Structure 1
Amino acid sequence: MLYDPFDPAFQADPYPAYRELRDHDPVHRHPRPHYWALSRFEDIWQAVRDPETFSSAQGLTFLPNEIEALGLAPTMVMLDPPRHTQLRRLISAGFTPRRVAALEDLLRGFVRDRLALMERKTADGETADLHRDFASPIPTFALAHLLGVPEADRARFDPWVAALVTIQDEGLDLDDEPGVAAVAEMFAYFGSLITARREEPTDDMISALAAAEIDGDRLTDWDILGFCFVMVAGGNDTTGNLISHAVTLLDQYPDQRARLVADLGLIPAALTEFLRVEGSVQALARTTTRPVTIHGTEIPEGEKVLMLYGSANRDPREFGPTADVLDITRRIPRHLGFATGPHFCIGSHLARLQARVALEELYLRHPSAGVDLAAARRISSPFTRGWDALPAAGLS
């Protein structure tokens, strides 16, 4: 199978193409659009931990002008150390594990409400959608609550995320993409919210970020806006798809589902395996700052290099001969489900909390919960892997 990230057949099942790349073309030069692609675990692990050679400052896709086209100043994920390190420390001062953990009871109540909605639909003969009705609304709720978005405004999140996903669709013509308008609308909204929180702080993350200070340094409005963008654009659909992928995988491996249902304490470790086998983020790019040679192939300076996380996380050189198989008790010392190095996902603890609570509540009430893959529909994206529609099964 040829590697073509825009091919619907590839997007439906990219793993045979990844295998071909790892075995025969681990430093792949892609012709149109022009970029390079790394597919082996060790190569990507080392590259993303070397920001001096593989820079994030020119954007995270293979587009040559994505930051300019979106009308963005660089956000935290598009910066390199030392500025990235400083900004991440300041963000972390407001985005603490303690603040995230305090959300659990409220989150659990919301998850139960979404389950009740799916149960009512099923009882009425309607089709409940595991992704749209359950998995996707969970991160919208969690992020909106943490950021301090009033409940009446939370419905704005889903159209923003949907529009941003279209930026990744075939063509990537940013001049007329709805994603560009979504960015402008999102920034205008959060800009006004930041101003309000600076004037009258409340108990939310934006207020905490506005007050965060390290050695006399404080976050600017733009820094906070960039963080809000990263959380909405990068933390919403990825977490929803983690939950949906977990249920889909367990439905395909009923023996693994039975083990997990019998011991829900396995969920935290199992989340790492779900991310490894079906990562929401399949690929992100870096730009070389100098010529670099990998496996005898030289990548020149100034080239976009796509890190194929979805391939790396199934590399048998790292995970053994069963790398393509789900094993919720697998020991995983290293993985790239949340990346690694300076850009290790700052929201990983929030994503894990949401997925753990969602799966606990789902399987407590519906031990055989699954999906109807024959009627499911995936999003079209060369960078992320997820669902547009995912009918639920096993809820009656």
Structure 2
Amino acid sequence: MTTTVAYEPFDLAFRADPYPTYARLRDESPVHRVPERAGVPEFWALTRFADVWEAVRTPATFSSAQGLTFYPDEIGQLGIPPTIVMLDPPTQTALRSLIGRAFTPRRIADLEGKIRTFVRSRIALMTERAAAGETVDLHQLLSSPLPVFVLADLLGVPESDRAAFAPWVAAITRVQNDGFAVSDEPGGLQAMAEMMGYFTEAIAHRRGCTHDDLLGALVAAELDGQRLSDWDILGFCFVMVAGGSDTTASLVSHGITLLTEAPAQRELLLADPGLIPGAVLEFLRLESSVQALARTTTREVTIAGVTIPADRKVMMVYGSANRDPREYGDTADLLDVRRRPDRHLAFSSGPHFCIGSHAARLQAQIAFEELLAAHPRITADPAAGVRHDSMFVRGWVSLPAGDLSDLSV
């Protein structure tokens, strides 16, 4: 007997391997209603690429202003004004324009030397531990520290303050992975308050004197004579930490895992390292760090013959859309480092296309260039790893190396 397919982000088994269910949802129920349950009102899920692509590019119908999860009071839980990711045009457009003047691809590219030096130092540490017979945790030793280092450098956090910054990032990442349920996260509220207090003082200092960092650039940014408020800058700091740390870390770890499972694809990268930038996009497509985020309908809308009422949360299931054979063909579930898709949704699209995408891609590109150059046969052991227990983010807490012989060379 064929069972009815259901989108079950609350189910641990589903979260461990959502892809078979995604395939059935795309075929059998691409616009899927999830009934009300305790604490979560009725919501809907879009799983086909074309539907998600259109929805995220139509903010007038699919609004971000009511939060990005299916929880009803997500913004109130945060205890701060709505951030840029929880605003709609035209307010979001103006704020993004101001931020974009500071958060430029050139500013990110200027970090390349620092990132490369940092990655090499982490690889050296991994090699040293492997030679000593210790367990080498790829996620904890390389993937996770990398974006924390980049965030601290971008925001102008001095070396003397980074011992405090790293735990803030870790706590806020856990809050984000739990769907911003900060009241349920031990230390989450305290970490947010401490980080916001720290950056409030840093902003005040930069209003008094110039600093050549992203925070200083945000303070100085102007559009038609208008500058960002303290709350705008604080909100952006929060978005960078919540959205730019663990997602990038998981991108690196996912890539290592995918290459472990597809050794022929690894050989292609070893033969032609010029394929690595495109491979990073392929890693993102196959294992989207952000699996799903919500919008709220502003009006009744019909998609694929199914009508969604107004004022309903609708999950944009990026993890499913990015594997849709209707967009990527029969090999949609397979790694192909030579694939050059015209479109993908790992960074969303439209007004909320990830403003930190350049930084994430550069970090991953450098990580794989250096890792494959130093240890071309390194593998991961995902069976021994620990995944996040999250309804919205797919990633790792721990990912041990597999074959350590190459690391100890």
CA distances 1:237-290 after superposition (whole Å, capped 9, x unpaired)? 111111111111011000000110111110111111111000100000000000
- The one-letter amino acid paired with 2:183 is D
The equivalent residue for 1:18 is 22
Q: Distance in 2 between matches of 1:192 and 1:318?
A: 47
2:100 is aligned with 1:56: no
8 Å contact 1:157–1:232 — kept in the other structure? no
> Do residues 154 (structure 1) and 162 (structure 2) align?
yes
* Structure 2 residue identity aligned to 1:26: P
Q: Secondary structure of 2:310's partner?
A: coil
Paired position in structure 2 for 1:3: 7
Shift of 1:215: 1.2
CA distance in 1, matches of 2:223, 2:108: 21
Which whole-Å CA distance do the structure 2 matches of 1:357 and 1:154 have between them?
22
User: What are the within-5 Å matches in structure 2 for residues 373-392 of structure 1?
Assistant: 373-392=382-401
Alignment check: 8 A CA contact 2:22 2:47 kept: yes
What corresponds to 2:203 in structure 1? 194
Q: Residue 212 of structure 1 aligns to which amino acid in structure 2?
A: A
Is the 8 Å Cα contact of residues 6 and 170 (structure 1) preserved in structure 2?
no
The answer to whether 1:264 aligns with 2:273 is yes
Deviations 1:69-106, CA, capped at 9 Å, x for gaps? 11020100000000101001100111111111111111
Give the C-alpha shift of residue 170 in structure 1: 6.7
Contact (CA 8 Å) 2:386, 2:397: kept in 1 or not?
yes
Q: Contact (CA 8 Å) 2:77, 2:180: kept in 1 or not?
A: no
Contact 1:140–1:154 at 8 Å: present in 2 too? no
Identity of paired residues, percent? 62
TM-score, with structure 2 as normaliser: 0.94
Residue 101 of structure 2 aligns to a residue in which SS?
helix
Amino acid at match of 1:164: I
Cα distance in 2 for partners of 1:253, 1:105 equals 30
SS in 2 for 1:258: helix
Q: Secondary structure at the match of 1:29?
A: strand
Q: Do the aligned partners of 2:179 and 2:391 also contact (CA within 8 Å) in 1?
A: no
Moved more, 26-35 or 222-231: 26-35
Aligned-partner Cα distance in 1 for 2:55–2:179? 28
Report the CA distance between 1:183 and its aligned residue.
Answer: 2.0
Q: Give ranges in structure 1 of 5+ residues lacking alignment.
A: none
What SS does the aligned partner of 1:94 have?
A: coil
User: More deviation in 167-176 or 297-306?
Assistant: 167-176
Change (3 A) 1:226 1:169: closer
- Relative to the length of structure 1, the TM-score reads 0.97
- Write the deviation string for residues 299-318 of structure 1: whole angstroms up to 9, x where unpaired: 11111101000000000111
CA RMSD of the aligned region, Å? Answer: 1.5
Distance 1:22 1:369 in 2: 35
Query: Counterpart of 2:314 in 1: which secondary structure?
Result: strand
Deviation at residue 8 of structure 1 after TM alignment: 1.9
Aligned to 1:314: 323
What are the within-5 Å matches in structure 2 for residues 132-147 of structure 1? Answer: 132-147=140-155
The alignment partner of 2:283 has SS state of helix
What is the alpha-carbon distance in structure 2 between the residues aligned to residue 254 and residue 151 of structure 1? 39
Correspondence for 2:288: 279
Q: Secondary structure at the match of 1:28?
A: strand
Report SS of the residue matched to 1:361. helix
Measure, in 2, the Cα distance between the counterparts of 1:47 and 1:72: 27
Alignment of 1:1-396 (within 5 A): 2-31=6-35, 32=37, 33=40, 34-167=42-175, 174-178=182-186, 179-394=188-403, 395-396=407-408
Q: Which runs of 5+ in 2 are unaligned?
A: none
CA contact (8 A) 2:172 2:191 kept: yes
Q: Deviations over 1:284-338 (max 9, x none)?
A: 0000000111122211111110100000000011111111000010120111011
Q: Which amino acid aligns with 1:244?
A: S
Report the CA distance shift for 1:171/1:213 in structure 2 as closer, same or farther (over 3 A). Answer: closer
| Distance (Å, rounded) in 1 between the aligned partners of 2:280 and 2:329 | 19
Residues 380-389 or 291-300, more deviating: 291-300
Are the aligned partners of 1:168 and 1:382 in contact in 2 as well (CA < 8 Å)? Answer: no
Q: Quick one: distance in 1 between partners of 2:54 and 2:216?
A: 37
